[in-house]
Structure formats: structure tokens, C-alpha cells
Structure 1
Amino acid sequence: MAEVREDLEAFTAELFDGFFRADQRRWGQVYVPGLLLDGRRKSVEPMAARLGEDGNRQALAHFVTTSPWNPAHVQARLAWKMQDAIGPEALIVDDTGFLKDGDASACVSRQYTETAGKVTNCQVGVSLHLAHDRASAGGCSCPPPGIPSPRRRIRPRSPAASGAVSGSGHVEKWQLALDMIDEARSWGVDVPLVLADAGYGDPTAFRLGLAERKLTYAVGISSRLTARPAHARPITPPYQGTGRPPVATYPDRPMTVKELVIQAGRPAARPVSWREGSRPGKGRSGLKRMYSRFVALRIRLAGREIRQATKDAELPERWLLAEWPATESEPVQFWLSSLPSGMPLATLVRLAKLRRRIEHDYREMKHALGLVHFEGPTWQGRHHHVTLVSAAHAFCTLQRLTRDPKDTAQD
């Protein structure tokens, strides 16, 4: 315990070293350890009661709600430290919901969240996570950004700089994600690959935004997206000599990605084992290997937005990856990727499935570190709190990496 305490003191001292004011450095080095103490609630009052001599409730409340420190400085330092410690293979984009009873908190609206599995009163926070097979670390964007229904106008509850709401009342979560990726890259964070679920993969604008930034991606998509096989070629009709010259078009109608995989047939599915799970089995560590069957096809996505963005008669090739378990009559999950054409199937699957690591991050941050326990109506207070929770989670990740690497393998 003494060694962990020393590590924590060194970690927080380094993290808050850039703060100009001594009181901000002091209470930052108290708040993060407070989040790590055992206890059900991690809001200011119960944390102060557990901190003993350092439990100054008023000082902690002032530090997290009104003290004018910039969370970006903490986030950047965390990103640098965790990038070196993890050696990330990907940057994972995701979001999580914060259920609310009222509408007094920043960026609250009625919207869908997978946390509740329905439309309800909540905040939704977009997050970035640096991830490798053995570890991941990240945190929610803050306030976390409210992402109201596209058809609902709301009154702004946070500064315009938050990017959560605008004069028109809505900013798409994929746009928030792109803004966060831009900020992370401005800190010098390397983005080898972007992973996301279908909530980000379906919008063409998000994928085009990544392509404009020359970022490789592997994103979930729904079965209804349309595409053509990679061998499809556009045809230019003969010019008749009057009017505008004809443009090249694809003669065959596009098919849904589900239809393309079914057309390839069940024999195209190959067995792949991508990692060890948490249940006992025959893996090297005594755990069961995660296993399924997958189809990988080269395709060309259809759509006017893509044609306009590429300004080319021939649409770009992409990977279509589909999971088709032996027990199912049709494929059950789909991904789209801009990874190189020669990529082995096992690597495609492993990288696409890497997104599941963030479920462990969310469990730990929400249930053990108090991500959802902030009590206050202000944008700045929530912004500060989730940044400090990210710091506490980063410390836990570093401890697992240095003390028992096997503990970092999560289901």
C-alpha cells in the first residue's frame, strides 16, 4: 500500500504541476485520491467525509465547480502519459449516457441512450479511448456534450466553446467526435486507427471527415448501407453531341451490405479466434478463446455524398467485414474499414473487436470512480469532474500495467 501511495503522490504531482496556483495543485492532488477511496458515492460531500484531514468540503467543491483551471491541460498530460504507457493500436470513439431526473444540469435533454436502452432525460457524453489489447484509457468529453434529438431545439446551457449546442440547438455527435480527434492530434497524440460503432460508422460525413484527415478507420455499420462489389466499374454512355457530356455511372443497382455477404454465401465465412475472454477454457492463460466465423469482402460504397466528395468516377474500395456465426442463418454484425487491401482476416477481426475494451473503461469509471456522481448544474463543474475521473482511471490502468499485466486482459 505504501508503494501505491507513493506512486499516486508522484502521479498527481506531475499531473497538476502545470497549475499556476498552489491551491489548485493542492486540491487536485486531494480530489483524485478521493475518487480512488472505497465508497458508493464519489460526489464532494461523501468524498470529504472519507478523506479525513484533507476532507475540506468547501475547498473541494470550489476546486471542482468554480475554480478557473483549464481541463485541457490535464487531458493533454494524461494523453501523453497513457500514449507512452499503452502503445495504442487504435483511438476508440464512443458515447455513454448519464441519466437525469430533471433538466437543471448542463446539456440535459430527452434523447436516446444505450445506457437506458430508450429515449429518456439524460446527458450523453462522447469519449475517446487510447486502446491496445492489453489496456485502454480515456474519458468522456465534457460537459459531457448534450446531444439532443435532431428534431428538437433546446436552449443553450453551456458556453458556445463547449461545442455541445449552438444557436440552432444541435450538433451531431460524429461532429463532436471529429472535433475531439482534432484536439487530441493537436496535442501530438498519434492516431493509428479510429474505431467506432454504427452510431458513428453509418453517417457518411463522419467517414469522409476521417478520410479528409487521412485517418484509417474500422467502424461498425448497419446492414442497410448500400454498396457494390469491388470489381464493379462505371460506364460512360456515348456522347450524342448535344447538351452536357454524360458522366460515368454504375450500371447495376447497389445492394445492401447484408445482401452482398449473403450472396458471397456461408462457405465464404472463415473461423477466427481474436482474444481470450474471462471464462475458464483452453487458452494459454486458462481462459476461453473468443471465437466466431467472419466474411471479408472488398466493396465500393454507394451514395451521392461519396461521389461528390471523391470527385472521381470510380468509388474507393473498402473492407466489408461481417460476423456470421455457424449457428445463425445470416450475418449478425457488420464493419466497414479503410485498412489496406492485403490485411489478413484475423487482423481485421481483432482490430474491429478491439472496440469492446471500452466497456471495461465505462464500468470502472461509472461504478468505481464516480463518473456519474457529480452533483451540480454547471457545465464547468461537470467538465472538471469527468476530467479528474479520467485521471483516476488512468492511474488504475498504470498500476495494472506495471504490477500484474495479466489483469489487463478484460472480457
Structure 2
Amino acid sequence: MQKHAGATTPVQPRKYSGNLSEPVFEELSETLFASLRRSDQRRRGLDYLRGLLRTPGRKSIRNMAALLGGSGTGQSLHHFICNSTWEWSPVRAALAGYLARVAPPLAWVVRPMVIPKTGQHSVGVGRYFSPVDGQVLNAQQAVGLWAVSDRTGVPLNWHLRLPEQWHDVSDCGVPSPRPAPPRPLGDCAVEMCREALADWGLPPRPVVVDIGEANPLPTLRRLTAEGLSSMVRVPGDLPLTVVDEALTGHRGNILPAAQIMRAARELRRPVTWRERGPRPVRRTALVAAVRVRSHPDCGRDTVLVGIGGIGAEWLTELWATSLPASWAATAVPWMSGFVRAVDRDFETISEHVGIRDYVGRSFSGWHRHVTLASAAHAVVALSSTPADLVGHAS
């Protein structure tokens, strides 16, 4: 989501051209709200989900209440999101379990989501540097875990980073849970993967992490320790120690990742794979894989993979992976396409169902909103054929 994650203005909302499948909505809703004990909470959950799916434009509580109608609807929806007691984690687990059955995941993808804000009143707003825009933004910063199948990508779990000044905030008449101090996004990625596997019982799948870390190798090591095959996007200036004998004259040298790959130019080989999209296409790239170790921690070997276009300037992507070197050169380019698939699904579906539209000071409210927006995303994705998801501006 790098293109839109750091944008100074929201991406134009998209909409699908097909119709929602009522059976998908009903089946998912029944699964989704099973953990809500009270019937009034289940009703409000259905109302909120329908509002996210059917309200044109911004998915504010006021706009959704106007569409749904009924006396006191806005107040009821506000209470359901901000003041209620229902837990969002069981709802996310139910969504994840449903998707594992109907659209078995090929991989988990971790991507950031930045939500630009004009004021300081929304929960978690702080000053963040956007490498995409090259400037500091006033924004919320979150990171999401997505399930990517051969059919679609759907967000399952979210972590909202809170600057220090937000840690004692109460809102909507009740205290929000006191979150832990801010942590690196990589730690949040590992925690979300651990929760998905250990607490939700999801099957282990390769993890693709692209969150703009200056040094993503600790994240790679921690995911590997969890027993997960994984790959992380690597910045070109990350210092690494060359250990691959194939890179003649460079073994033992500490060099930036991009310089290592430029030296590996002669090791490039063409790799072709089928990439998922509205119209799946075959892609071909030149790929080189070199064994390296992180500096200064010279422990376990890591495979550095460079990807570049045929006939284009060498080196458009850099990844480090725990996959065996014999697999990395073919698997990494294929799985890097999952990031593009997530970004595309975010723009064509998530934006349309209001994933970034929550406004309020409630930490719990933010999490409940994005949980139901993720469910709305799943309804749209599973109701539509790939051709339906070719979005256009609303």
C-alpha cells in the first residue's frame, strides 16, 4: 500500500461493478457475529456492516444512519462502535476462519496503512515521515495482516500505533484499553502472525512483509523462529556481509544490499510466473539470489534476492528470505506479486467500504470499525468475479 499509504489526500474511493451476494453476506454475518452474546449487538453489527457496504461516499456514522433510517440509528451505531463491550479479536478470528474455508490462503502479507488527518483529535494521530512523499505527515499509522488466495486478498488483523501522548486517553464515556508503548512495526507483524496461528488456528503459510523498515532482518529472524517461511523487503542501503562463493572477489566484504546486487549482475536469470489480478498475467523478470549475513550480527545465512525487469534498469526490488537458496530465485518473485495484489485490493475494495473513514478518539472504536470494514471487504471480494473488481472513481 505504499502508493496510497503516504498520500497527503485520500485515494479516490472505488466501487465494484457487480452486485453483492446476499448468501455471502448472510453466511459471513452469521459466522462473524456468533461471539456477540446479545441480540441487540448482533443487530447493530448487521446494520453497521450493511452501512459500510451500501452507503455512498464517506462511511461516517451519520451517513450510514441516514441511509439505514430509523429513529436513534446514529446514536445506536455510535454506541455499538465506541461504547459497547464486544471484543474485536473473536470477530477477526471468525473472519479468518471463514476465509480459510472458502478462499484458502496462499500467503500472509503484512502492509502498512497511513491515514492522513487534518487535526489532532482522532485516536493515534501523530507526526510520521512518509518515504513515499518525502515529508512528515500528520496521520494515523497502522499495519495490517492480509490473507492472499488465488481469488482475492482480505485484511484479517490490524495494529494501530499510538504515540506516547495517547496512552492515557479515555473516550466515549469509558476508558479505552491501555495499549503498550509504541513498538517497531516489525514486532507488530510478528505478533499478528503469532496470533493468527496460535490463537486463531490458521494454517502456516509463507509471510511477505513490506512495511518500510530500515532494517527488516530482525523481523525475518523472528518469523523464522516462529517456524514460518518468510521474506522481507530490504532497503538498498542495508549493510550486509557477502558469504556466497559465486560472487567472486566480494566474499567477506560488508556492502550495501543494492551494491551487492549490482555486483551480482552476471548471476541474473529469467524467471516467469503467473500473477493474480483482475486479469491474471504472466510476468517475467531477471532475478539473482546471493547468500549474505546481516551486519554486525554474523549468524545465520540469509538469501538476498534482486528483481529487475527484462530490458529495464537492473534492480527494481530487493528482498531477503529464509527460504532455501535453491527455491528463493523462483519463489520470491512470485510472492512479491502478492504485495501488488494487496495494494490493488486495498484501492478497489477497502477504500470503497471505508477502511480509513473512522473519526473519533476511541482506540476500541477504531479497532471495531476496521474489523467490520475488513468483513465488508470480504463480502465484496467473495461476491464478485475478478472482472467485477475493475474499479472506477465514485
Q: TM-score scaled by structure 1?
A: 0.79
Alignment partner of 1:107 is 2:124: yes
Find the aligned partners of 1:28 and 1:37 in 2 and give their Cα distance: 14
Quote the offset at 1:54 in angstroms. Answer: 8.6
Query: 71-80 or 52-61, which moves further after superposition?
Result: 52-61
Match of 2:270 in 1: 271
- Please state whether the residue corresponding to 2:186 is helix, strand or coil: helix
Alignment partner of 1:178 is 2:190: yes
Identity rate, percent: 27
Match of 1:303 in 2: 295
Find the aligned partners of 1:110 and 1:2 in 2 and give their Cα distance: 40
User: Are the structure 2 counterparts of residues 325 and 190 from structure 1 closer, same or farther at C-alpha, using a change threshold of 3 Å?
Assistant: same
Deviations 1:335-368 (A, max 9, x none): 1111123317333310132222111232145431
Quote the offset at 1:190 in angstroms. Answer: 1.9
Query: 319-328 or 38-47, which moves further after superposition?
Result: 319-328
Deviations 1:238-279 (A, max 9, x none): xxxxxxxxxxxx9933223323222223x4322233335779
Quote the offset at 1:323 in angstroms. Answer: 1.6
Quote the offset at 1:70 in angstroms. Answer: 0.2
- Please state whether the residue corresponding to 2:122 is helix, strand or coil: coil
CA contact (8 A) 2:123 2:361 kept: yes
Structure 2, gaps ≥5 residues long: 1-17, 170-174
The amino acid that maps onto 2:137 is: T
Residue 119 of structure 1, aligned match among 114, 117, 136: 136
The amino acid that maps onto 1:17 is: A
Match of 1:227 in 2: 241
Find the aligned partners of 1:157 and 1:116 in 2 and give their Cα distance: 31
Residue 22 of structure 1, aligned match among 39, 48, 71: 39
- Please state whether the residue corresponding to 1:342 is helix, strand or coil: helix
CA contact (8 A) 1:272 1:293 kept: yes
Quote the offset at 1:294 in angstroms. Answer: 1.7
Find the aligned partners of 2:328 and 2:185 in 1 and give their Cα distance: 32
Alignment partner of 1:82 is 2:99: yes
Match of 1:394 in 2: 378
Alignment partner of 1:292 is 2:291: no
CA contact (8 A) 1:228 1:302 kept: no
Query: 18-27 or 48-57, which moves further after superposition?
Result: 48-57
Match of 1:202 in 2: 215
Find the aligned partners of 1:359 and 1:183 in 2 and give their Cα distance: 23
Deviations 1:380-407 (A, max 9, x none): 111111111011111122223xxx3665
Alignment partner of 1:258 is 2:271: no
Find the aligned partners of 2:146 and 2:329 in 1 and give their Cα distance: 24
Aligned alpha-carbon RMSD (Å): 3.0
CA contact (8 A) 2:348 2:390 kept: no
Aligned residue pairs, count: 364
CA contact (8 A) 1:219 1:352 kept: no
Query: 32-41 or 363-372, which moves further after superposition?
Result: 363-372
Query: 131-140 or 36-45, which moves further after superposition?
Result: 131-140
Find the aligned partners of 1:203 and 1:385 in 2 and give their Cα distance: 29
Quote the offset at 1:81 in angstroms. Answer: 0.8
Match of 1:362 in 2: 346
Answer with 1 or 2: which has the greater Rg: 1
Structure 1, gaps ≥5 residues long: 233-249, 280-284, 308-314
CA contact (8 A) 1:201 1:207 kept: no
Residue 377 of structure 1, aligned match among 342, 361, 384: 361
The amino acid that maps onto 1:322 is: G
Deviations 1:127-170 (A, max 9, x none): 0001124321114515x323x5xxxx53525589564x52xxx3
